[in-house]
Structure 1
């Protein structure tokens, strides 16, 4: 009886160790980024991915500031702007907080309503083009106005095997895949680096693309730079399943040990 119980414990231990070894082998494979870059190429690699400035769409929120010679006028215009819309986006900022989003909402007609300046159609324009248009209209009312326009809700969502999956509001229009993953705390050890999926809304249709973080070709991809509302999904690798199996094996081992102790106690009664 004792020998049989001892053999059972040895089998349980073997299953546990084997599971740990399999998980370790799987999760340490293909962990490093850009593995195909040789030492000779490190100083020659160039980024040829083309950055396209995002255009303003309906339901975007714009942060708009108009500065004039009269500081009193500045206060009136920009105070109205800060109160134009203030709604919680449920997103995480680049600093990790969850602030409300303030700014001018682009309505269904593609227009924003500015104090004194009036309604301005901005859909289809970049923030630079919108700035020039607003400056032109503001010059009718103000002397030499200085206008600043940026997105207040440039959002990307990162899901799957990252340290901090969430939606992130980024105060910058030029955001790369690597920037976004950095905000999310990088991939976990179980993230599939050779198969990162990007989901993009293109004119009401969903567009899918896959990127390989193990390859330098990512720097040439048209999806290297993200657009507002892009979604990144990092698929779990086989190591994730192995880790779950290891946890299951540990549970079985504990159950087996408990049963063995119970049997010993019963036989001694």
Structure 2
């Protein structure tokens, strides 16, 4: 009877450990504060131009020969033995590099200060200058940021660098491009590192709280942002040689199995 009681306790112990290992952590589900009765608002921002940014600026008009004076040439990019030229993308378009002083040298218009401006503001400024100087009567100016990227690292499905395809791109968009967090990513303290001049700013945000996320300056990303997702404790434990430490359920289950075997041998 004493041996039977021991086996019952041991079996119950193993079952509890197995249940604990299969349970769903509470910090997995996103936006746990979100309900149908609430609306969320916060920072509204758009990408502004910084030194070293590269800008594609195109001027269009009915008189194409005239506006060609203001457009940089298309430059074919060579990839190995293949030369490509695609006017539907930025691949073959020459760009203006913003100087350390925050300006570009535009044909006929000269130095134009663009630092701190949005793409639409720059387009409006150039359009106004072309009309005021009577260079082009009906210009349509488009401005694109050609080197805007965000890097997503850590516990995501596809770490890497991704192009910023619009001015109001959010951290959720960036994580989506990277295939979302893995089950081992810590959702409560995602880090965003942002360069601001000669210093770096670090924001720690939680994907569990929609309101605090929406209120964070890191909600809308900027060019050259780096997003890093920390591994949770399970992933950290798996990084050991065999993944078995005193904290893992597999270790205790293995130990309990060994004890059961030894007990059975002793009874015989």
Match of 1:108 in 2: 100
Q: Which residue of structure 1 aligns with residue 166 of structure 2?
A: 172
Matched with 2:225 is 230
* Aligned counterpart, 1:50: 43
Q: Which has the higher contact order (CA 8 A, sep 6+)?
A: 1
Q: Are the equivalent residues in 1 in contact too, given 2:57–2:141 (CA < 8 A)?
A: yes
State how far apart, in whole Å, the 2-side matches of 1:228 and 1:200 are.
9
In 1, Cα distance between equivalents of 2:17 and 2:236: 11
* 1:172-191 superposed matches below 5 A: 172-191=166-185
Q: In the aligned structure 1, how far is the partner of 2:77 from the partner of 2:98?
A: 13
Deviations 1:84-139, CA, capped at 9 Å, x for gaps: x9799xxxxxxxxxx68852111223222233443322122222221121112222
- After TM superposition, list the pairs within 5 Å mapping 1:1-269 onto structure 2: 24-25=22-23, 28-37=25-34, 41-42=35-36, 44-75=37-68, 77-80=70-73, 82-83=74-75, 102-139=94-131, 140=133, 141-217=135-211, 218-245=213-240, 247-249=242-244
Deviation at residue 68 of structure 1 after TM alignment: 1.1
> How far apart are residue 52 of structure 1 and its match?
1.8
In structure 2, the gaps of 5 or more residues are 1-13, 80-90, 245-250, 252-268
Matched-pair contact (CA < 8 Å) for 1:20–1:246: no
TM-score, with length taken from structure 1 = 0.70
The verdict on how the C-alpha distance between 1:78 and 1:172 changes in structure 2, with shifts beyond 3 A counting, is same
Per residue, is there more helix in 1 or in 2? Answer: 1
TM-score, normalising length: structure 2? 0.70
**Misfit runs of 4+, over 6 Å:** 17-22, 85-88
